[in-house]
Structure 1
Amino acid sequence: MRNLETLLRFMAVIGLLSLGVTIVMLTGRIDLSVAAIMVFSVISAVVFTKLLGGWIGERWVVRGNSFVGPASVVFLATLVVGCVLGLMNGIGIAHFKVSSFIMTLVTLTALRGGNYILTDGHPYYLQSDAFRWVGNADFLGIPFSFLVFCSVLAFLAWLMGRTNFGRHVYAIGGNEKAAIYAGLKTNRIVILTFMISGLCSAVAGILFTSRLASVDAPLASGYELTAIAIAVIGGTALSGGVGSPWRTLLAAVAFAAGLNLLSIWGVSTWYQNLAIGLTLLIAVGLSPASRKRLQL
């Protein structure tokens, strides 16, 4: 049961990143910055709250880098930062016509550097009771973080399957030029998809760092490739227009279970990364054939 609980907590984090990537990929674009946004949003929120405490005469960082301030302010600031970073990605891609690969790669690199600048290379230890509750709480044996993931999944599944926004996203991914001729505001929709991705990353950051009770600059390195691999394994086409949050859920379950099994067998992280790379390569190779079969 302890191993199953750990599996669900891990799946909640990578699942949220994968959901954000899925929404972006449905438009025919990609987001390489999800893991960097996940960590940077929390670090910047902690730094902002620390500065806020100084402005009002409160000392919320003690014993070096132990943060004891209000978690609610950090949570809210994290969500805001995630949305803003997604907005910046979306504007650069939609209005300035920067390739999504280049734009999000630049964001990834800049945020990784920003993490070290804000932390000065040292972790922040999150000592608030609220962080411990978010990281360890469960209901009827089901981790709170997994319930959050399921809630986001249900909302995005409804958004993509039952609303005009979802239909427009699929239309852009299927044939963007036809969508423009049909009068769809493609730039606005693309920006919103990147904001959703940034928000999913921020929520994942809250869950991830609360579980660790700390946040550090190099955390989650490589998680962006894991998220993309899960989305592709779930049938989301790299060219856009094909995929769904429910398929991403199934892929996340299979992927997390596979990595968990490798850990139980004692396979080192290096070989696990190799397995992720090979899985992504195979999934990308099969993706065109899968899309053709779905269209038929």
Structure 2
Amino acid sequence: MTLLKGGGRLSLVQRIALPGAWLLLIIGFGIANPHVFLTAATFQTMFGSQAVLLVLTLALIVPLTAGDYDLSVGAVLTLSAMMIAILNVQYGWPIWAAIIAALAMGLLVGFLNGIIMVFFGIESLIVTLGMGTLLGGITLWVSNSATISGISHTLVDWVIVKRFGGISLAFFYAIGLCALLWWIMEYTSIGRRLLFVGRGRNVSKLSGVRVGRVRVGALMGSSTLAAVAGVLYAGTSGGADPTSGTNLLLPAFAAAFLGATSIMPGRFNPWGTAIAVYFLVTGITGLQLMGIQSYVQQLFYGGALLVAVALSQLSRRRVPLDNG
């Protein structure tokens, strides 16, 4: 009985460790730089400006839950934003039609990733790395390696200009997607199948789960969410940069693995992911406001990824499959 109580306390500590560390980080930067860091403008900027990163990280955790990696999400984000810019600015498409085309592209890329992976039995890491490189080349080709600006003000208004509580609507879209993904992963058969496949594919097959279909579906969901992140990027910047998604891939992986150590330790979960994104962003913002040089951002994200992967693996070993 004592062991059970001790295990319960340990589980609670694991669940709240990252939110607690985030709070301590805020307190620390607040004490060090109160007049700049502890302002409404700082937190409004942090929350609103990182919606793209949050959605991209949510995209990653879908295939990660099923035991696969998607290294093409950054390229999908970039191509999605570029498609919207080219179709809307250069070809005069209505913004809603350009967005639908970008989302359809994301869905198609995920389907191709999944089919190649399952049909040919190639590791997801290799397939998505190749697909990401291919998409990067396509983006550079169609854009002539140039940034395209001038996207419809309708999208810009509804993503970054319009605000609620001083925070741009992009943040609330990202949180809405986070809540939807949490519901799917926690309360539907789809979420349970993703988890079963990620924990043991052979056992899942013996249990009647169509493992190949689940893995393909996970990659389709991942690419579609990455395309949504591209829509938000286009609305946030008012344009498209042919290399934008590349810089977001490392922090997205760092946040995904760090999030797996919190809320539901040992599992990739949306709310842990959201906390991890803003924990990392708070650290970067605080360091920048203190005048730390820009290379520290790479050190921070790289170090966080190494630590997060180690901690998430330890958590996965400790937590049984049905722990929720």
- In structure 2, how many angstroms separate the alpha carbons of the residues matched to 1:15 and 1:216? 19
**Deviation string, structure 1 residues 230-281 (Cα, Å, up to 9, x no partner):** 01001179xxx82211211221121121122222223333221122111111
SS at match of 1:228: helix
Rg bigger for which structure? 2
Question: Alignment RMSD, CA only?
Answer: 2.0
Q: Which residue of 2 aligns with 1:24?
A: 63
Equivalences for residues 250-265 of structure 1 within 5 A: 250-265=275-290
- In structure 1, how many angstroms separate the alpha carbons of the residues matched to 2:63 and 2:95? 30
Equivalences for residues 262-277 of structure 1 within 5 A: 262-277=287-302
- In structure 1, how many angstroms separate the alpha carbons of the residues matched to 2:136 and 2:287? 28
Identify the range of structure 1 (241-250 vs 96-105) with the bigger mean alpha-carbon deviation. 241-250
SS at match of 1:266: coil
SS at match of 2:242: coil
Identify the range of structure 1 (204-213 vs 161-170) with the bigger mean alpha-carbon deviation. 204-213
Query: Which one of 42, 51, 62 corresponds to residue 3 of structure 1?
Result: 42
Count of residue correspondences: 278
Query: Which one of 74, 95, 108 corresponds to residue 132 of structure 2?
Result: 108
Equivalences for residues 76-91 of structure 1 within 5 A: 76-91=100-115
- In structure 2, how many angstroms separate the alpha carbons of the residues matched to 1:268 and 1:34? 28
Structure 1 segments, 4+ long, off by >3 Å, are: none
Q: Which residue of 2 aligns with 1:292?
A: 317
Q: Which residue of 2 aligns with 1:56?
A: none
Give the counterpart letter for 1:206 in structure 2.
V
TM-score (norm 1): 0.88
Query: Which one of 304, 308, 313 corresponds to residue 283 of structure 1?
Result: 308
Distance 1:127 1:285, change over 3 A: closer
Q: Which residue of 2 aligns with 1:230?
A: 255
- In structure 1, how many angstroms separate the alpha carbons of the residues matched to 2:239 and 2:229? 14
Q: Which residue of 1 aligns with 2:213?
A: 188
Percent identity of paired positions between Structure 1 and Structure 2: 28
SS at match of 2:246: coil
The answer to whether 1:174 aligns with 2:199 is: yes
TM-score (norm 2): 0.80
Whether contact under 8 Å (2:77, 2:230) holds in the other structure is: yes
Whether contact under 8 Å (1:160, 1:167) holds in the other structure is: yes
- In structure 1, how many angstroms separate the alpha carbons of the residues matched to 2:175 and 2:117? 29
Structure 2, unpaired ranges of 5+ = 1-39
